[in-house]
């Protein structure tokens, strides 16, 4: 994931020795609390009942770039060792690509040399790297009062109804501010789990206290950068800002956000555009939704092919699978959005230093 001023590179495989990340460009002097980072990685474990039975401690080991509790300005390298690994089953199915997974295109892309165990580098386990990189970005944004929060907007057919965005900051529920909707989401996930199937959903992210003026046209477009980053998360199949696709059913008189003055600053009376106009932040809360497909690993029988015999076969997967990955995606989405915003914030700061 490459920004203009900061970037991060994930490394490792699902069943390899470790996964980790190299984060470059983070300014010196950012306070790093290991307990906070561990807490972010724990959020990535999601709701135990619907998550994989693979139990990893996910204890991060910071190898470089942090000294005496502060970033040094040099590259930050963090590793998380894989402990609970069982690859035996993947040897059995290496020639039968799992439907919905990257097994087949990865095999073609890397001429058969790809690590196929648990999806290898294409596994959702690599989101550990996103959460870690996002942690450093969030710490940078905190200095400007910018807060990034994601919640479960939809699980299957159950959607969280509209609410005042400030409720998201006050809610004790880390997954959804509407308890009734969350209870129904649990039922939806439980139904999928019991049937041996899986279910997808939508994560909505709201960013508070976003400074106006971040982004730009074309190559600087902050919506394009955020969307590009979010599509790098495994299982993401859709991204929209503000009212998104709903704009297609509206007229301009309904869609436009009227400007007004509030507390001595320019605001919009509505936020249909999700805090972005012309690829540039307006100062209103940034609102982006990310759609996740159902987990492709399911216990029901599926049709595939045997590449060694070049014939169709039926497969029934065995192993440790998530029936719904959406709850564990919340810190991942937050991390991606935060990283893009931090990069754009640093660019804006560079201009502020020379423009009079």
pLDDT of residue 52: 75
pLDDT of residue 79: 98
CA distance 161 to 110: 44
- Establish if 260 belongs to a structural domain: yes
Q: Hey, how many other C-beta atoms are within 10 angstroms of the C-beta on 13?
A: 22
The pLDDT mean for the chain works out to: 96
pLDDT of residue 53: 72
pLDDT of residue 203: 98
For residue 343, pLDDT beyond 90 = yes
Q: What are the DSSP calls for 215-266, one per residue?
A: B-SGGG-HHHHHHHHHTTSTTEEEEEETTGGGGGG--HHHH---EEEETTEE
User: Which helix H or strand E contains 315, and what residues bound it?
Assistant: strand 311-315
Give whole-number Cα distances, 224 to 6, 230, 236, 257, 341, in Å: 17, 10, 15, 21, 12
- Establish if 264 belongs to a structural domain: yes
- Establish if 1 belongs to a structural domain: no
Indicate which CATH number applies to the domain containing 238.
Answer: 3.60.150.10
At 282, list the tokens. Answer: 């307006």
pLDDT of residue 321: 83
* pTM for this entry: 0.96
Give whole-number Cα distances, 61 to 21, 56, 82, in Å: 11, 14, 12
Which residue has tokens 């640093």?
A: 346
CA distance 219 to 182: 39
Report the candidate in 327, 348, 337 with the shortest Cα–Cα distance to residue 241.
337
- Establish if 342 belongs to a structural domain: yes
Residues in the chain: 356
Give tens-digit pLDDT for 238-247: 999 999 999 9
Q: Which domain holds residue 157?
A: 7-352
State how far Cα 272 lies from the chain centre. 23
- Establish if 2 belongs to a structural domain: no
Give tens-digit pLDDT for 131-146: 999 999 999 999 999 9
- Establish if 69 belongs to a structural domain: yes
Mean pLDDT of all residues in 306-331: 94
At 184, list the tokens. Answer: 């129904």
Give tens-digit pLDDT for 203-260: 999 999 999 999 999 999 999 999 999 999 999 999 999 999 999 999 999 999 999 9
Give whole-number Cα distances, 14 to 123, 216, 285, in Å: 6, 37, 36
pLDDT band at 303 (very low <50, low <70, confident <90, very high): very high
* Total domains present in the chain: 1
For residue 320, pLDDT beyond 90 = no
At 60, list the tokens. Answer: 């991060």
CA distance 167 to 285: 13
- Establish if 221 belongs to a structural domain: yes
pLDDT of residue 219: 93
Taking the alpha carbons of 306, 311, 312, 315 in that order, is the dihedral positive or negative? negative
pLDDT of residue 199: 97
Task: Tell me which of 138-142, 180-184, 344-348, 352-356 is least confident.
Answer: 352-356
pLDDT of residue 356: 73
For residue 9, pLDDT beyond 90 = yes
330-352 helix and 34-43 helix, angle to the nearest 10 degrees? 130
For residue 186, pLDDT beyond 80 = yes
Taking the alpha carbons of 261, 263, 266, 269 in that order, is the dihedral positive or negative? negative
CA distance 217 to 70: 35
- Establish if 104 belongs to a structural domain: yes
pLDDT of residue 50: 86
Report the candidate in 143, 149, 157, 253 with the shortest Cα–Cα distance to residue 202.
157
Give whole-number Cα distances, 137 to 3, 140, 259, 294, in Å: 12, 5, 31, 28
CA distance 232 to 171: 29
pLDDT band at 13 (very low <50, low <70, confident <90, very high): very high
């Amino acid at each position: 994931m490459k920004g203009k001023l900061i970037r991060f590179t994930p490394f490792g495989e699902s069943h390899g020795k470790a996964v980790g990340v190299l984060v470059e460009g983070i300014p010196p002097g950012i306070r790093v609390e290991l307990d906070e980072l561990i807490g972010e990685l724990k959020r990535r474990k999601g709701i135990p009942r619907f998550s994989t039975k693979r139990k990893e401690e996910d204890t991060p080991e910071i190898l470089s770039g942090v000294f005496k509790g502060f970033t040094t300005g040099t590259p930050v390298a963090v590793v998380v060792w894989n402990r609970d690994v069982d690859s035996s089953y993947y040897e059995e199915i290496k020639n039968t690509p799992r439907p919905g997974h990257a097994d087949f295109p990865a095999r073609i892309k890397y001429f058969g040399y790809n690590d196929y165990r648990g999806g290898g580098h294409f596994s959702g386990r690599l989101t550990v790297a996103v959460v870690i990189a996002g942690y450093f970005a969030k710490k940078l944004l905190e200095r400007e009062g910018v807060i990034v929060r994601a919640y479960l907007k939809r699980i299957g057919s159950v959607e969280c109804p509209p609410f005042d965005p400030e409720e998201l900051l006050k809610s004790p529920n880390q997954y959804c501010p509407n308890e009734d909707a969350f209870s129904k989401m649990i039922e939806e996930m439980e139904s999928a789990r019991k049937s041996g199937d899986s279910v997808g959903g939508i994560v909505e992210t709201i960013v508070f206290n976003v400074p106006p003026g971040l982004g730009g046209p074309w190559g600087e477009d902050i919506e394009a950068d955020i969307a590009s980053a979010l599509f790098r998360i495994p299982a993401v199949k859709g991204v929209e800002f503000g009212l998104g696709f709903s704009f297609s059913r509206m007229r301009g008189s309904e869609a436009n956000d009227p400007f007004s003055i509030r507390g001595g600053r320019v605001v919009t009376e509505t936020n249909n555009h999700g805090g972005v106009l012309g690829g540039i932040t307006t100062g209103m809360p940034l609102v982006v939704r990310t759609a996740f497909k159902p987990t492709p690993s399911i216990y029901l029988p599926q049709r595939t092919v045997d590449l060694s015999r070049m014939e169709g076969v039926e497969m029934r997967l065995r192993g440790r699978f998530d029936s719904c990955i959406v709850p564990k995606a919340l810190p991942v989405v937050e991390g991606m959005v935060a990283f893009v915003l931090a990069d754009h914030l640093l660019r804006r700061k560079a201009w502020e230093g020379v423009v009079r």
